[in-house]
Amino acid sequence: MRVGIVCPYSWDMPGGVKQHIDDLAQALMAQGHEVSVIAPAADDGELPPYVTGAGRAVPVPYNGSVARLSFGFLSAARVRRWIQDGGFDVLHIHEPLIPSLGVLACWAAKGPIVATFHASFSRSRAIAIAEPLLHSALEKLHGRIAVSDAARKSLVEQFGGDAVLIPNGVTVSRYAEAEPLPGWGPDGATIGFLGRVDEPRKGLPILLEALADIPGARLLVAGPGEVKVPRNVRDRVTLLGMVSEEDKIRAYHSVDVFCAPNTGGESFGIVLAEAMASGATVLASDIPAFRKVLGEGQAGALFRNGDPASLAEEARALLADPERRAKLAAEARVAVRKYDWSTVARDVVRVYETVTAGGTGRVVEDL
Amino acid sequence: MSEGIVLLLVGILVVLTAVYISWRAGRLDRLHIRLELAREALDAALTRRRAVVLELAGSRLLDPATSLVLAAAAHEARTAGPEEREHAESNLSKALRAAADQERFREKLAESPGGGDLLQELDAAVAKVVYSRRFYNNAVAVTRAAQRRWLARTLRLAGHTETPEFFEIDDLPPENMSTE
């Protein structure tokens, strides 16, 4: 299939949606599909061969934050030309409600169009005013994908109509090998945590409380935010702060047990999948999402959600039993394949096949 | 002189109204096309699922009782009249869940010759029923809302097209096939 993908955010800046699109594009190409991506990008910048630049992105405040978007006559003309020249079997727009290339592509094209909704959004004045405009864009979408329950829910509530849920993937191979961080490394006594440290739902306070009852263990914490470490465990806790993508992978390889004490609100647990792909032994709270990812404890240990005593007990048992750790880690490497990008891309292709099943013909310019 | 201005204003008004009506009509027409395509995709997905289930039932890879349950449900769905269709397709989903939620169903099927391919086809067929039905019902909702508008009703912009019906079935996939 020939697939045209529209990215709303600048290709020059790192970001979740951009990363998603890049991973998806590569997974689709690995499966033999032809992919062309259009994204805001500076004209003099380096772009991969499958990415077309649509002009420089401008930082604008939108819906409560500042986003780097691309709009205006120049961008509109480039999107139109890209659609004319592309001869796509299906057009895949990301974040069609963001005033950027997605909305422009919706205007300029007709035919089999699929959209993916990433962010959950709340009803704002801007959306209320622009609603008729956004509705006519939404009407052109033949298939809608949401990456999380939250995104799906807000779409249903704000605009009506449903979407299918296809979560983010993990590029498993990217996590497989890495050097431990200097001074660290699996030594039989290291526990790891990754995530915002000041977000109570991520559960770091529970882990810090439990640490007092896990004698001899060190805790490696990676993630942004401010947190007060209790005095009695302060000498055993290292806070790395925000880490680069590369150091994050190295951190997963630096621990014996990776702990995910989240108390809820996780629809999938990408962090867990990353740890599993890195070959870490996982100890997670028994919230439904984690139980599912860990195969009810087959691919990682579980403790009672919100219970530091239960966490400490499980962690002590795991640290004392290297054989069990190795077995769980091996199971995890198998279980995580289900969340690999190749699997996610397969589901996305099923959506493409569904919207083209009626024999619609290609994506063409809408005059 | 003033008569000329009035005439001009009336003329402009008539043109604007005509443009607006033709724009609404064009939009309704686009929605009908999208609905038609979604309907075809849904039919194709349902047909495909019945065919794969029948193939699985006839493959001798499953025990005879499971095969019979699946074959009966797929056959019912294939021969159902328009009135019983939703019911029969729901029953097929239920039969498929009963079969696939058996212990080690996937593993056993994957181990047998040709079973792996069949399993993949079944996964795809089940997922596409979920996808196409959701897309179809979205298209129905939008089209119905557009048809109900005052202008569309008064001027009969929808022509003789009927009000589309939602397709309501139980399409919950088996636990071990769920992609959501």
Annotated domain spans of chain B: 30-177
pLDDT band at B153 (very low <50, low <70, confident <90, very high): confident
Q: Residue A244 contacts by C-beta under 8 Å, 6 or more apart in sequence?
A: none
Residue A93 confidence class, pLDDT cut points 50, 70, 90: very high
Helix, strand, coil percentages, rounded to 5, for chain A: 40, 20, 35
**A211 at the B interface (CB within 8 A)?**
no
Q: Which two tokens stand for residue A131?
A: 């609603």
Taking the CA atoms of residue B134, residue B135, residue B141 and residue B144 in that order, the dihedral angle to the nearest 10 degrees is -140
A153-175 tens-digit pLDDT: 888 888 888 899 898 888 888 89
CA angle B147, B149, B151 (to 5 degrees): 105
What predicted TM-score, i.e. pTM, was given to this entire model?
A: 0.79
CATH 3.40.50.2000 fits A172-339, yes or no: yes
**A55 secondary structure, DSSP code:** B
pLDDT cut 70: percent of chain A above it: 95
Given this structure, which CATH class describes domain A2-169+342-360?
alpha beta
Report how far residue A93's alpha carbon sits from residue A168's, in angstroms, rounded to the nearest whole number: 16
As a three-state string, the secondary structure of A57-113 is CEEEEECCEEEEECCCHHHHHHHHHHHHHHCCCEEEEECCCCCCHHHHHHHHEECCE
Q: Inform me whether the pLDDT recorded for B159 exceeds 60.
A: yes
Tokens standing for residue A147: 């990456």
Pairs of residues, one from chain A and one from chain B, whose beta carbons lie less than 8 Å apart: 67
Nearest residue of B to residue A111, measured between CA atoms:
B34
pLDDT-based confidence at residue A68 (cuts at 50, 70, 90): confident
The answer to whether the beta carbons of residues B8 and B103 sit under 8 Å apart is no
β A190-194/A164-165 pair status: unpaired
Say what the ipTM of the complex is. Answer: 0.76
Q: What does the alpha-carbon distance between residue B150 and residue A267 come to, in Å, rounded to a whole number?
A: 42
Tell which A residues from 116 to 175 touch B, by Cβ distance under 8 Å.
136, 139-140, 142-144, 160-166
Q: Which residues contact B160 (CB under 8 A, 6 or more apart)?
A: none
Q: Which amino acid is at B3?
A: E
CA distance linking residue A298 with residue A292, whole number of Å: 10
Q: Can you tell me the distance from the alpha carbon of A171 to that of A267, in angstroms, rounded to the nearest whole number? A: 19
Domain locations in chain A?
Answer: 2-169+342-360, 172-339
Contacts of B41 in chain A (CB under 8 A): 354-355, 357-358
* Positions of E strands within chain B: none
Of A259-273, A283-297, A337-351, the range with the lowest mean pLDDT is A259-273
Distance from CA of A181 to the nearest CA of B (A): 36
- Report the residue of A106, A159, A293, A354 to disrupt the B interface, i.e. the one with the largest count of B CBs within 10 Å: A354
Common-topology check for domains A2-169+342-360 and A172-339: yes
Sequence-distant contacts of A290-299: CB under 8 A, at least 24 apart: A290/A260, A290/A262, A290/A266, A293/A268, A293/A269, A293/A335, A293/A339, A294/A332, A294/A335, A295/A331, A295/A335, A298/A331, A298/A335, A299/A328, A299/A331, A299/A332, A299/A334, A299/A335, A299/A336
